Structure 1
Amino acid sequence: MPSSSRPRVSLHSVLTAVSSKPVGSGITHPLSALDHAMALHTVHLIFYYHHNLFGSFDLDPSRESLSRVLSLYPMITGRFTRDTHGNWEIKCNDAGVRVIKATVDTTLHQWLQSADGSQEMHLTAWDDMPHDFQTWSPFRIQWEWEDLQINEFEGGGVAIGVSCSHMVGDLTWAFSFFNSWTRFHRHLPLPPLSHPTPTSNSNSNSKQPPYFAAATSSASPNKMPIMGTATFKFSTSSISDTLRQLHPNATPFDFLSALFWTRLCRYSSSNNITHSLSICIDSRKLFNSPLPTSPANAFHFSLLSVDVRDMESSQVGDIAALVHNHLEAIKEDQILSTLDWLESQRQLGGGKYREPSQMYGPYLTCVCLDGNGRERELESSLIYGAMFEEGEKAVHVSCHVGNVEGEGLLIVMPSPEGGLARTVTLTLPQNQLALLCQDEAILNLQPTMLLTPTLHVSQ
């Protein structure tokens, strides 16, 4: 496997895509309390397609459809600035979205089988906010072409990387934007973009949510471990066979989050009396909102803790039941209480929002991009229905969050195969990732592993 220090991605050009409808002068997009809370993180999506779907982006209709969809998202083409209280907002000045064109010196199949997570990040364009942040684009698109001269796939392949600051939007929002672009490209109507959304009552008496309290109290000054990433794909048959042995209402997310959590607890060196799992869900589901969705950030974080002795004596099915019951107990009032508390910090701070939190960490965080029933169909359609040509679904979609620390991150999402098949993307300390890649309980499910680094278990 090639070293991650020698990426096989060559950048060729940078151009700017602008909205087809200019924004009026002086319009700004203020960021919410939850947007500010996500400031330490970034969002990265990569869509892999078997065939080169476009010609030259400079002249291709895809550039026109991108300009059209950008007219619905004026904050994407703007630039960050600060208001009078020092809070972030986006100046909608039509500065445009940067589109980077690049080539990859291997075939799509070879890339998915041999590249690792650090190499894959070269498929997304991102850099840290500079000192002069008013010139910094909050949204990037990277257009990656497989080199047709050495591509074993007829017609080649393409990977499109999308990146943004998490303050601009969460993973669901980013999927929604990309899906809207492909629908415009195919001249299809968009689902409604407006609907009821959770709002804060600005209650200054709201109590600090347990997740924020726990995350603050567990902050550690110790040097953070080097993180690695890997992707596991589980088939419908392996998931369905397991679910038949669990609680009748257990979902693939219940099982997979419990499986990886219990296995990682075996490798933990923590002296805590409890094991804790941070569960992240899209709160839009609790407010009966259709997709695509707004507001831009609507992820809700909660904490599930289990006594160390109980964890050691429990089966995966027992922990899956705890995860299921925990999710069932999350109601609208908890979401609103969190928003109220975040907003109350602004009042206490004289108009300035609180400093951002390490949301994805320090506890193991598990993100659920996986619903039940109709929700599951909608989410799978949102991800794999993003087609620039009818019937040309993405063969793989990678989903990452930047600046993950602590115990790491698991993202559970549908797979292109449909059904109960699931894709799990891990961002973990490298030593624990190496152990998981060799874990018998996981390998017994015969997952396909993609974009997995060569890791060595330290003794």
Structure 2
Amino acid sequence: MELSMSNRVKMHSLLSVVSSKPIEPGKGFKFSSLDQAMGLHTVHVVYYYQSNPFHEGPHSLDMDNLRAALSDLLNEYPKATGRLTRGVDGNWEVKCNDAGVRMVRADVSTTIDEWLRSADASEEQDLTLWEDMPADPSVWSPFRIQINNFQCGGLAIGLSCTHMHADLTSATLLFKSWTEFHRGLPLTHHPIFNFSATNGRSSRNDKAKSTELYAAKSAVETNPVKMGTATLRFSDSAIKKCLSQVHSEYTNVTPFDLLVALFWSRIARLKKPTDGDKHSLSFCVDLRKHTNKLVPFGYFGNALSFSSLSLDAKELLESDGVGNVSEHVHRHMASLENEFWSALDWFDTRKEEGAKLAPPFRMYGPELTCINMEHMIDLEGRSLMFDAMFKKGGKPVHVSYHLGNVEGEGLILVMPSPEEGFGRIVRVMLPEEQIGKLLEDEVILDLEPTVLLKGS
């Protein structure tokens, strides 16, 4: 039976994919305190391919090989195939039981190029099968995959999961590993489910600013506001030109620093003067690094650090260009190394009677939050998400990230683009009345971005 999800996306089959080897009896995984703190949010990733790598012929889809590769991959990811249950301490954990992941197939009645030009964020969510966790999650799959066939022969694959299980990096590496298994290649990043929390750890800092930020987040209740979203792709040449102007005075500024400063300062101009003399931006940074072992790059879970930077309205709004703000962002990013451990300590102390952790709260909000994905560029300068190829040379033409249950002032997500070098993609989520004005901002338009997937 065909289920209509929107006018252009129609789901027509649902199945489960299990690991090719049985899970050992009694196996399970506990979540870290940070994992459980992310429990209100979900993670959604969509990979767009111009040509379908699974076509056997003009009208058929090679699902057998696709499912076989996923089944083999799931042997490496037992945490993704299990089901959620409450442990003896009352906290969530994974019971491994070979239940598998849900997979759905859908048809999209347009081409990929037309979709990227015309679809809005709400319609894009139709490419990622999801249903919220029920009261009894014993038969509920926390990982879901949707295979979307476009009229042009293109393909989009949506992956969704709970943020408690995985952050954006973990979801991306799981997907990339699937493509490696499909091509018969060894895994570049084997999943690691536990790592020593004392590895590379400095002394505890009870006065870390991040703990103050988490305490403030946990105490705030936000009112849901209808949000709008837009994705802007900036070319390597445009970012280089802008950086050359900034580097005359601020030599250390990076493409990330520049784009954060640009969007933060332009968004600040959209707010009412009564918002106060201070403007704050929360930063979400991944602790995985290619160059050290503070957190292993293959760690599967949440390895995020949140921090906050505040600037006077005059400095943010009236500075000469974005150079000064970029420098503030750069210095802030360089100061974050030890904040992660203090945050883990803080989450661990929020326990109720019987060692049960306190309820989760919104980590993305209430203040404007910026997510840094620069770590997804490897030491050779390649963007890991655009290295996810089911066939040689078949790189995705676009990768889209979405985080569920975001409230407050919005999100700025800065990630690599398929163009190597300084090209970047910025996905912005703002209150609906602000997003349209931002897309008309002359300073941003001066960089000649390509605008994709804009709307509610």
TM-score normalised by L of structure 1: 0.90
Residue in 1 that maps onto 2:281 = 277
The 8 Å contact of residues 251 and 372 in structure 1, kept in 2 or not, is answered as no
For 2:326 and 2:261, the matched residues in 1 are separated by 5
Superimposed CA distance per residue, residues 249-287 of structure 1 (whole angstroms, 9 cap, x where no aligned partner)? 211110111111001111113533311101111112298
- Say whether residues 1:318 and 2:321 are aligned partners: no
Cα 1:173–1:6 change in 2 (3 A) is closer
Superimposed CA distance per residue, residues 314-344 of structure 1 (whole angstroms, 9 cap, x where no aligned partner)? 231111111100001111x321111111112
Which of 245, 254, 257 aligns to 2:260? It is 257
Cα 1:417–1:205 change in 2 (3 A) is closer
The 8 Å contact of residues 197 and 295 in structure 1, kept in 2 or not, is answered as no
Which of 181, 185, 204 aligns to 2:182? It is 185
For 1:373 and 1:130, the matched residues in 2 are separated by 37
For 1:278 and 1:424, the matched residues in 2 are separated by 16
- Say whether residues 1:70 and 2:74 are aligned partners: yes
The 8 Å contact of residues 69 and 181 in structure 2, kept in 1 or not, is answered as yes
The 8 Å contact of residues 78 and 92 in structure 1, kept in 2 or not, is answered as yes
- Say whether residues 1:214 and 2:211 are aligned partners: no
Cα distance, 1:299 vs. partner?
A: 1.2
Superimposed CA distance per residue, residues 42-77 of structure 1 (whole angstroms, 9 cap, x where no aligned partner)? 001000001111146674311111011111010111
Cα distance, 1:180 vs. partner?
A: 0.5
Matches within 5 A, 1:31-430: 31-55=31-55, 59-147=63-151, 151=152, 156-193=153-190, 197=195, 199=197, 206=206, 209-217=211-219, 219-220=220-221, 223-246=223-246, 247-269=250-272, 271-285=275-289, 288-289=292-293, 292-314=297-319, 315-331=321-337, 333-346=338-351, 349-371=353-375, 374-375=378-379, 377=381, 380=383, 382-430=384-432
Cα distance, 1:193 vs. partner?
A: 2.5
Cα distance, 1:291 vs. partner?
A: 7.2
For 2:165 and 2:368, the matched residues in 1 are separated by 24
Bigger shift: 97-106 or 77-86? 77-86
Cα 1:425–1:291 change in 2 (3 A) is farther
For 1:299 and 1:77, the matched residues in 2 are separated by 23
Cα distance, 1:191 vs. partner?
A: 2.6
The 8 Å contact of residues 234 and 450 in structure 2, kept in 1 or not, is answered as yes
Bigger shift: 263-272 or 176-185? 263-272
Cα distance, 1:123 vs. partner?
A: 0.2
For 1:368 and 1:107, the matched residues in 2 are separated by 30
* Corresponding letter in the other structure for 1:388: F
* SS in structure 1 at match of 2:350: helix
Residue in 2 that maps onto 1:14 = 14
Cα 1:220–1:82 change in 2 (3 A) is closer
User: Once the two structures are aligned, what percentage of the paired residues are identical?
Assistant: 47
Matches within 5 A, 1:427-446: 427-446=429-448
* SS in structure 1 at match of 2:224: coil
Cα 1:7–1:260 change in 2 (3 A) is farther
The 8 Å contact of residues 81 and 90 in structure 1, kept in 2 or not, is answered as yes
For 1:78 and 1:52, the matched residues in 2 are separated by 30
Cα 1:374–1:62 change in 2 (3 A) is closer
For 1:297 and 1:191, the matched residues in 2 are separated by 19
The 8 Å contact of residues 19 and 70 in structure 1, kept in 2 or not, is answered as yes
* SS in structure 1 at match of 2:179: helix
For 2:324 and 2:102, the matched residues in 1 are separated by 48
* Corresponding letter in the other structure for 1:253: F
Cα 1:426–1:205 change in 2 (3 A) is closer
Superimposed CA distance per residue, residues 10-65 of structure 1 (whole angstroms, 9 cap, x where no aligned partner)? 00000111101111112111111010010010001000001111146674311111
For 2:109 and 2:49, the matched residues in 1 are separated by 16
* Corresponding letter in the other structure for 2:360: P
Cα 1:439–1:166 change in 2 (3 A) is same
Cα 1:326–1:254 change in 2 (3 A) is same
The 8 Å contact of residues 278 and 303 in structure 1, kept in 2 or not, is answered as yes
Cα distance, 1:302 vs. partner?
A: 0.6
Cα 1:375–1:225 change in 2 (3 A) is farther
Superimposed CA distance per residue, residues 415-438 of structure 1 (whole angstroms, 9 cap, x where no aligned partner)? 111211101111111111111111
For 1:277 and 1:327, the matched residues in 2 are separated by 12
Superimposed CA distance per residue, residues 390-435 of structure 1 (whole angstroms, 9 cap, x where no aligned partner)? 0000001101111111010111111111211101111111111111
For 2:84 and 2:376, the matched residues in 1 are separated by 37
The 8 Å contact of residues 79 and 137 in structure 1, kept in 2 or not, is answered as yes
* SS in structure 2 at match of 1:189: coil
Cα distance, 1:198 vs. partner?
A: 5.7
For 2:332 and 2:205, the matched residues in 1 are separated by 25
**Unaligned residue ranges in structure 1 (runs of 5+):** none
Q: After TM superposition, which residue ranges in structure 1, 4 or more long, deviate above 6 angstroms?
A: none
CA RMSD, 1 decimal:
2.4
* Corresponding letter in the other structure for 1:53: P
For 2:379 and 2:333, the matched residues in 1 are separated by 15
The 8 Å contact of residues 177 and 189 in structure 2, kept in 1 or not, is answered as no
